[in-house]
């Protein structure tokens, strides 16, 4: 029985090799977007290092997020990869120290222009929808060491540790990030949600006839409800189960709506609220291994969840509509794990805010790439899947008859997908 070779030689003489032979697909999409030209035109500020223009430095920060290198310190592998630099059009790759210094200057002098560019590009990628669903969510980024702006706040996994508190607004149908804001860990979600929503509403196209907002109980606040009602926005927000709300549960008449799920509703005006609101209550048996999300309140073998809403839907449909918001939690997990959102790059507050917005931009770029260039079956696939199937392919740059060619493995299993994506990207037309 063979156990593998016992005598094997190693030779470090390979040239023109890369780990990321398929990254040209994403780079080609960037070319169709004219991304580098947009960055060069819109983001201009004086730099100490004249070796790299702002557009090159921004792209050099985006590329490691997309290929999965994570921390800025890991970009050295791209600096030494001549084929990757050839694919992306970079003559050389900035070292980590140069990128951090650029990030600080970019935060002070280029971030506002970058945010306008991101907003304008987002508008171009929308195809005149009739309905918009905005999902609000937040997360906690635990900080280790001394990070400017990090404060002790709500941190369920690392209690007592300082953290940052990003807020995010997603479009529930496309999963695009509509807006985001970065805060110290002691800032409550409800206190800054109106500002976030206000910016998000300004980006909504004129073609939209209906806006719906979904959020968890961190956004259950009478000011937010009034803000949405004034703008004629429909909402479904998980209610905090206060003692007055709990007291009503025992007297409700529940109806079976699906399997072991029962629903009821009532009208109630919480203290300091201007009017009575419709509350939907869902009752389900306590699962054998309940999660903290289901166990909002337990009583006599059941879990209860209340949702405040102005949607003219049955209680069951309101609950199902809200449950689709779980997509937002998956996106946040992907941002933290695949896009390295939790890997804070510097100790400077403004630079970390700028990095946060670069991560959101990288996510949207890849989301647009999936939506417009990949088959529909890939629209819900994660970045890890895209990397595995299309980007992280060993390749060799050769020039037969003087024609640059990336030689990919003969055994590559996704050849048809690769060629179809290349063809679809070539056909792509982005509205001006």
Burial 17-31 (b: 16+ CB within 10 A, else e): ebbbbbbbbbbbbbe
Of the pLDDT bands very low, low, confident and very high (cuts 50, 70, 90), residue 294 is: very low
What pLDDT is attached to residue 249?
A: 83
130 is written with which tokens?
Answer: 């009739």
78, burial (CB in 10 Å: exposed 0-12, middle 13-18, buried 19+): buried
Q: Is residue 238 part of a domain?
A: no
- The residue ranking higher by pLDDT, 298 or 242, is 242
pLDDT at 299: 62
Q: Is residue 231 part of a domain?
A: no
Averaged confidence pLDDT in the chain: 89
Q: Is residue 155 part of a domain?
A: no
* Residue 200: C-alpha distances to residues 29, 136, 185, 248, 355 (Å): 26, 11, 22, 35, 20
Domain that holds residue 69: 17-114+346-427
pLDDT of 295 higher than 50: no
Contact 286, 302 (CB under 8 A): yes
Contact 217, 140 (CB under 8 A): no
Helix (H) or strand (E) holding 138: strand 131-138
Per-residue pLDDT averaged across 327-354, rounded? 91
**Per-residue pLDDT reduced to its tens digit, 149-206:** 889 888 888 888 899 999 999 999 999 999 999 999 999 999 999 999 999 999 888 8
Give the separation between CA 317 and CA 308, rounded to whole angstroms: 13
Span 383-394, mean pLDDT? 93
pLDDT at 289: 56
CA pair distance 103, 345, nearest whole angstrom: 9
Asked which of 47-51, 141-145, 269-273, 333-337 is least confident by mean pLDDT, the reply is 47-51
In the chain, pLDDT over 90 holds for what percent of residues? 61
Question: If you average pLDDT over residues 62-83, what whole number do you get?
Answer: 87
Q: With 90 as the cut, is the pLDDT of residue 63 above it?
A: yes
- pLDDT tens track for 109-147: 999 999 999 999 998 888 778 899 999 999 999 988 788
Q: How many domains does the chain have?
A: 1
- Residue 66: inside a domain, yes or no? yes
Q: What are phi and psi of 20, to 5 degrees?
A: -120, 55
Q: Is residue 184 helix, strand or coil?
A: strand
- pLDDT at residue 419, rounded to an integer: 95
- Report yes or no on 73 lying in a domain: yes
Does any domain span residue 229? no
**pLDDT attached to residue 260:** 87
pLDDT per residue as tens digits for the range 80-118: 888 999 999 988 899 999 999 999 999 999 999 999 999
pLDDT bucket at 297, cuts 50 / 70 / 90: low
For position 313, what pLDDT does the model report? 94
| Residue 288 forms part of a structural domain | no
Determine which of 48-52, 165-169, 407-411, 425-429 has the lowest per-residue pLDDT on average. 48-52
- 79 belongs to a structural domain: yes
Contact 60, 99 (CB under 8 A): yes
Exposed, middle or buried: residue 256 (CB in 10 Å: 0-12, 13-18, 19+)? exposed
Give start and end residues of each alpha helix (H) in 264-348: 315-323, 326-337
Residue 231: pLDDT over 70: yes
């Amino acid at each position: 029985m063979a156990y593998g070779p016992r005598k094997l030689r190693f030779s470090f003489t390979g040239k023109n090799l890369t780990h990321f032979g398929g990254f040209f697909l994403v780079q080609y999409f960037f070319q169709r977007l004219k991304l580098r030209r947009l960055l060069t035109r819109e983001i201009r500020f004086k730099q100490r290092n004249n070796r790299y223009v702002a557009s090159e430095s921004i792209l050099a920060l985006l590329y490691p997020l997309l290929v999965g290198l994570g921390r800025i310190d890991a970009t050295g592998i791209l600096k030494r990869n001549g084929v990757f630099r050839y694919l992306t059009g970079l003559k050389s790759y900035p070292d980590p120290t140069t990128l951090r210094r650029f990030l600080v200057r970019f935060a002070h002098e280029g971030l506002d222009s970058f945010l306008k560019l991101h907003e304008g590009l987002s508008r171009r990628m929308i195809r005149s929808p009739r309905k918009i669903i905005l999902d609000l969510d937040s997360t906690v980024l635990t900080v280790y060491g001394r990070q400017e702006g990090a404060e002790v706040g709500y941190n369920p996994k690392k209690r007592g540790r300082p953290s940052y508190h990003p807020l995010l607004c997603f479009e529930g149908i496309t999963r695009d990030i509509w807006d985001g804001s970065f805060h110290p860990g002691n800032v409550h979600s409800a206190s800054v949600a109106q500002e976030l929503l206000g910016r998000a509403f300004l980006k909504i196209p004129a073609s939209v006839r209906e806006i719906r907002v979904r959020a968890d109980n961190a956004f259950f606040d009478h000011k937010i409800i009034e803000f949405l009602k004034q703008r004629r926005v429909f909402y479904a927000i998980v209610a905090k189960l206060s003692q007055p709300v709990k007291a009503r549960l025992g007297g409700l008449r529940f109806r079976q709506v699906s399997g072991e799920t029962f629903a009821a509703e009532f009208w109630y005006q919480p203290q300091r609220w201007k009017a009575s609101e419709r509350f939907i209550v869902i009752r389900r048996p306590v699962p054998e291994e309940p999660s903290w999300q289901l166990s909002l309140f337990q009583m006599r073998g059941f879990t209860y969840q209340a949702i405040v809403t102005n949607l003219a839907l049955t209680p069951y449909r309101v609950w199902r509509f809200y449950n689709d918001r779980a997509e937002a939690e998956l996106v946040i997990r992907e941002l933290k794990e695949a896009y390295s959102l939790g890997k804070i790059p510097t100790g400077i507050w403004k630079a970390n805010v700028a990095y946060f917005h670069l991560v959101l931009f990288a996510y949207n770029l890849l989301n647009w790439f999936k939506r417009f260039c990949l088959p529909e079956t890939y629209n819900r696939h994660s970045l890890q899947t895209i990397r595995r199937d299309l980007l992280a392919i060993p390749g060799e740059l050769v020039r037969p008859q003087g024609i640059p060619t990336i030689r990919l493995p003969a055994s590559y299993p996704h050849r048809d997908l690769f060629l179809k994506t290349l063809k679809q990207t070539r056909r792509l037309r982005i509205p001006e």
